[in-house]
Amino acid sequence: MKVRTIEKLQDKLQEEMSWRRREIIQMRMRARLAPKDLTSLRAGYLLLYSSWEGYIRSAANLYVIFVFGRNVAVSKLVEGLQAVYFQQQFSAAQNSKTMVSLKDFFYEVRRQEILTPHRKYVDKREKRFINTASNLNSKRLNDILQLLELPTERFLLKENWVDTNLLRIRNEIAHGERISVSQVEFENTAVRVTKMMDDFSNVVLSAAESREFLKSTRLNRRAV
């Protein structure tokens, strides 16, 4: 997959958003027509969570794909994106538990940091640039934002809700607990989930447009 321009990134984000938004709208319509159908509401809640996790994962990976396609040396990227680039080699060195492997890792870092990123994206669990571990709580979301050097402010006030409402209820339903979801609760969750997805899109596009992935951008801002 190649995402070399802002326009292509925007198109890809919209593509990922549109079918999820369409499903959410359809489930909201069903919930309004049958507000006491508890089975549909429970199933719909699982869809809301999967839309949330799936979109954040997809959008984060699209941003990394975009950055790695900018023809910029790895050493010029902010540290979080360098960590993403070298994560597989670091994990291999860590798992080997030998000093020689660690030495080889540092050698590869020094050798590759002057090159442009050439790591290919593989859209499979544990092989993506960014993974959500099937459990996108507020801490994992914050980790992703910090790793990609994206602003966290828009999501700070939503941390408690993500953990105590969205994730807790999803987990209880997914693990077979007999928990009810009202139509009002479902509707409010749908609105919040869609808003957070939109917010993440805006954060990603803004960072791409202002070249926040470069160390020089951050240094220039501090100098002002």
Q: What is the DSSP track for 81-115?
A: HHHHHHHHHHHHHHHHT-HHHHHHHHHHHHHHTTS
Q: Is residue 82 part of a domain?
A: no
pLDDT in tens, 137-172: 999 999 999 999 999 998 988 899 999 999 999 999
How is residue 130 annotated by DSSP?
S
**Per-chain mean pLDDT for the chain:** 88
pLDDT of residue 94: 67
Backbone angles phi, psi at 36, to 5 degrees: -110, 10
pLDDT of residue 222: 63
Q: In this prediction, what percent of the chain has a pLDDT beyond 90?
A: 62
User: Residue 92 above 80 pLDDT?
Assistant: no
Q: Rounded CA gap, 132 and 3, in Å?
A: 21
Q: Is residue 77 part of a domain?
A: no
User: Residue 26 above 60 pLDDT?
Assistant: yes
> pTM for the full model?
0.89
Q: Is residue 103 part of a domain?
A: no
Q: In total, how many domains does the chain have?
A: 1
Q: Is residue 119 part of a domain?
A: no
Q: Is residue 190 part of a domain?
A: yes
Q: Is residue 64 part of a domain?
A: yes
Q: Is residue 80 part of a domain?
A: no
Q: Is residue 141 part of a domain?
A: yes
Residue 141 · residue 151 · CB < 8 Å: no
What range does the domain containing 49 cover?
Answer: 6-72+125-223
